[in-house]
Chain A
């Protein structure tokens, strides 16, 4: 390649002249004495199209030889001439030797050593040398170009061989009768043939019958030979190993003699990959279309680029109509969920299953679980985000039901105590009413005598009046009217007090069983804790001393009923731990409730002097259904539910316990519900 470029790029003629400088010449030879012109002068006629380089010895001349078209060497260089001729004998520009006078011996020696021409510097030297030089240059260039062309053909042949031999597809050249002229190794390998043995054989006898069965190959070859150009097609046939293969069939007319090229490329794998890709795409599309979540793809400006049917349903729009609309339409500015998605778009931040809600065009709000990941291109650049919305309406309902069921179950644990608390006042109210009815009967008897006295007094019947007064005194004494009146009042007061107690208990129960509103409300945590504690304590007051140490707390934005349930669970556990320790004995235990503000949080601690929790159980107590209680004393959901509720409030719940000494639970509730711990509406 390098050769061709040089040849093409240097049209100018370059000659190297090797001769001694004039002074040296004068010392060396007799010819110098003549007034004949030097070699350089003799070449002046060639004009400015010729570049001439001068060299004074073999080394300098040979160094310039590769770029030269001709070397003209003075024979008087002696040994250097021999070196030059020797070096250029096997290749390189021609060498013309100049002798001072005609000298056949020197000329003969020079030709023997490979000189191209010998010229004597005699009278016609100035005319002769340019002609000789040009002729030598012309010959040399012609020969060189011929050599280059030959090399090029040779290179192309090699390239062709390499391509044909290494080409992965099966190639065959066929003559006009569709006999094999040539097959490449891939062709031979594919059908276990010998490339030499099939030469000259008809193709229909070379290829396996199943491949020819459809007739497509022969038809295509025939059309190609007849200079029609059939469309590429796929032919299918089993290989010898039984695998069914697909071949891409192409044919090409090669020359006017009707030779055609047949190319069969095995595309089985490519087809399989295509099929897999198609299946995968269909599979993915199926999942996306039918998944139980809304899926949205948004670009970097939060515009929807695709949406599945559920997304349309959830956002209240046709999935196709969603395209191009901004996701922000459903996520009002300033909401945590919008900020999260914006962070995904800007920083590639990922998040999963954040509870949130979206607002539809009609103003309705849907509780959702929100997951978001950046949409990455092939080189990892962010193009937008994939947003998955899970409709939590049903889950919320179920959660709410479960929570309510559990709450009712925890009330069940209190039932015996609560019933006792109601039963005692019921007992004395019931008995008192019975007695009061009797009292009333007695007092009516007194009243009848009062009436009698009034009637006789009005009738001015003195003796009758006296008798009536006597009778009144007798009846009053008999029924002990003074006592009855006094005790009636006392009984009424006791009944009032008893009914008030029942009213309180029922009110507490009703409060506790009540469901929270859909949104968090401001509540006094001390009050929540106190009413729950009173309800629990009233059931265990015989065995538990309740100590309250309430700090001053700001109102907390929360779901009060849920927190009451947490307190209830902790209090019931504390009471049960104490009862388990004392087993109905004379001693009583202590429940110490403490609330305080700690930084931006409210801390509620419930300490008991009960049996304590074994160290090996401590890290499992918040697991659902984990319980060490006896059958019927709880189903092991209390602490797990408490944990969930506290977590929904963005808070934490911790436990410290020593077996036989007691347990402390500490609930920390942040004053501000942040985005991460945003409370869910239950």
Chain B
């Protein structure tokens, strides 16, 4: 898969090292990765450019991940939305469904699982 042709993936996390670790994990997956440090920054990026996938942290300063994904879904209805959080049980399933979230990944993540979840969401 060439770098120019892969799906565009937006990753949002306030923790810089998480962003770089996720980039490392997905380095060979062919995604064109862009990142944002907050939900607000993510939304402004989504207003400008198209993405195929959005992977967001939940607990962040400002709006939280679920709220961000809800709005992201409005901006780009075709994008696959995924939430990554250390407290998966804190986010009720019905809220995830209401926000149109296709995948829930727990932190720390398992490399293979992460890749599988992204692929599954993309092809759903």
Q: B17 to A584, Cβ gap below 8 A?
A: no
Taking a contact as CB atoms closer than 8 A, the residue among A427, A487, A543, A588 that contacts B24 in the complex is: A487
Q: Is the interface of B mostly helix, strand, loop or mixed?
A: loop
Q: A431 to B24, Cβ gap below 8 A?
A: yes
A491 to B61, CA, bound (A): 25
Q: Which residue of A lies closest to B90 (CB)?
A: A416
Is B111 on the interface with A (CB-CB < 8 A)? yes
* Minimum CB–CB distance for B26 against chain A, Å: 10
Q: A420 to B111, Cβ gap below 8 A?
A: no
* Minimum CB–CB distance for B38 against chain A, Å: 10
Q: B86 to A435, Cβ gap below 8 A?
A: no
Q: A419 to B86, Cβ gap below 8 A?
A: yes
B107 / chain A contacts, CB cutoff of 8 Å: 423-424, 426-427
A429 to B24, CA, bound (A): 12
In chain A between 197 and 236, which residues have their CB closer than 8 angstroms to a CB of chain B? none
Q: Max chain A CB contacts within 10 Å: which of B15, B17, B18, B25? A: B17
Known contacts A428-B15, A430-B108, A584-B64: does B22 contact A420 (CB below 8 Å)?
no
Taking a contact as CB atoms closer than 8 A, the residue among A431, A541, A543 that contacts B25 in the complex is: A431
Can you list, as one digit per residue, whether each of B80-92 has a CB less than 8 Å from chain A (1) or not (0)? 0000001100000
Is A586 on the interface with B (CB-CB < 8 A)? yes
Is A490 on the interface with B (CB-CB < 8 A)? yes
Is B93 on the interface with A (CB-CB < 8 A)? no
Q: A435 to B108, Cβ gap below 8 A?
A: no
A613 to B116, CA, bound (A): 50
B60 / chain A contacts, CB cutoff of 8 Å: 542
Q: How many residues of A contact B (CB 8 A)?
A: 27
Taking a contact as CB atoms closer than 8 A, the residue among A423, A430, A490, A543 that contacts B20 in the complex is: A490
A490 to B20, CA, bound (A): 9
A491 to B18, CA, bound (A): 11
Taking a contact as CB atoms closer than 8 A, the residue among B14, B24, B64 that contacts A432 in the complex is: B24
* Minimum CB–CB distance for A37 against chain B, Å: 148
In chain A between 465 and 512, which residues have their CB closer than 8 angstroms to a CB of chain B? 487, 490-491, 494, 497-498
Q: B20 to A428, Cβ gap below 8 A?
A: yes
A542 / chain B contacts, CB cutoff of 8 Å: 14, 59-62
A641 to B4, CA, bound (A): 63
In chain B between 103 and 120, which residues have their CB closer than 8 angstroms to a CB of chain A? 107-109, 111
Is A425 on the interface with B (CB-CB < 8 A)? yes
Q: B17 to A420, Cβ gap below 8 A?
A: no
Q: Which residue of B lies closest to A421 (CB)?
A: B86
In chain B between 22 and 38, which residues have their CB closer than 8 angstroms to a CB of chain A? 22, 24-25, 27
Q: Which residue of A lies closest to B27 (CB)?
A: A435
A431 to B17, CA, bound (A): 10
Q: B62 to A431, Cβ gap below 8 A?
A: no
Q: B59 to A541, Cβ gap below 8 A?
A: no
Is B21 on the interface with A (CB-CB < 8 A)? yes
Can you list, as one digit per residue, whether each of A546-590 has a CB less than 8 Å from chain B (1) or not (0)? 000000000000000000000000000000000000001010100
Is B63 on the interface with A (CB-CB < 8 A)? yes
A416 / chain B contacts, CB cutoff of 8 Å: 87
A418 to B21, CA, bound (A): 21
Q: B18 to A428, Cβ gap below 8 A?
A: yes
Q: Is the interface of A mostly helix, strand, loop or mixed?
A: helix
A309 to B86, CA, bound (A): 62
Q: A586 to B86, Cβ gap below 8 A?
A: no
A419 to B86, CA, bound (A): 9
Q: A435 to B25, Cβ gap below 8 A?
A: yes
A246 to B97, CA, bound (A): 97
Q: How many residues of B contact A (CB 8 A)?
A: 22
Can you list, as one digit per residue, whether each of A517-549 has a CB less than 8 Å from chain B (1) or not (0)? 000000000000000000000000111000000
Q: B61 to A541, Cβ gap below 8 A?
A: yes
A494 to B20, CA, bound (A): 9
A543 to B59, CA, bound (A): 11
Is A434 on the interface with B (CB-CB < 8 A)? yes
Taking a contact as CB atoms closer than 8 A, the residue among A419, A434, A435, A498 that contacts B17 in the complex is: A498
A427 to B60, CA, bound (A): 15
Q: A427 to B61, Cβ gap below 8 A?
A: no
Q: Which residue of A lies closest to B86 (CB)?
A: A423
Q: Max chain B CB contacts within 10 Å: which of A427, A429, A586? A: A427
Q: A434 to B25, Cβ gap below 8 A?
A: yes
Q: B24 to A491, Cβ gap below 8 A?
A: yes
* Minimum CB–CB distance for B108 against chain A, Å: 4
* Minimum CB–CB distance for B63 against chain A, Å: 6
A498 to B59, CA, bound (A): 18
A430 to B109, CA, bound (A): 8
B64 / chain A contacts, CB cutoff of 8 Å: 584
A435 to B62, CA, bound (A): 31
A428 to B22, CA, bound (A): 8
A588 to B62, CA, bound (A): 8
A672 to B121, CA, bound (A): 66
Taking a contact as CB atoms closer than 8 A, the residue among B14, B27, B86 that contacts A427 in the complex is: B86
Q: B109 to A427, Cβ gap below 8 A?
A: yes
Q: Which residue of B lies closest to A543 (CB)?
A: B61
Q: B59 to A427, Cβ gap below 8 A?
A: no
A541 to B111, CA, bound (A): 29
Q: Which residue of B lies closest to A488 (CB)?
A: B24
* Minimum CB–CB distance for A495 against chain B, Å: 9
Q: Which residue of A lies closest to B60 (CB)?
A: A542
Q: Max chain A CB contacts within 10 Å: which of B20, B61, B108? A: B108
A429 to B64, CA, bound (A): 23
A606 to B91, CA, bound (A): 33
* Minimum CB–CB distance for A332 against chain B, Å: 57
Across chains A and B, which 10 residue pairs bring their CB atoms closest together, nearest first? A428-B21, A430-B108, A423-B86, A427-B107, A431-B21, A542-B61, A427-B108, A435-B24, A428-B17, A494-B17
Besides A427-B109, A432-B21, A434-B111, 17 new A-B residue pairs in contact (Cβ under 8 A), listed by A number:
A423-B108, A424-B15, A424-B17, A424-B18, A426-B107, A426-B108, A428-B20, A429-B108, A430-B108, A430-B109, A431-B21, A431-B22, A431-B109, A435-B27, A542-B60, A542-B61, A542-B62
Question: A residues touching B (Cβ–Cβ < 8 Å)?
Answer: 416, 419-420, 423-432, 434-435, 487, 490-491, 494, 497-498, 541-543, 584, 586, 588
12 contacts between A and B (CB under 8 A): A419-B86, A420-B87, A423-B86, A423-B108, A424-B86, A427-B18, A427-B107, A428-B21, A428-B108, A429-B108, A435-B21, A494-B20
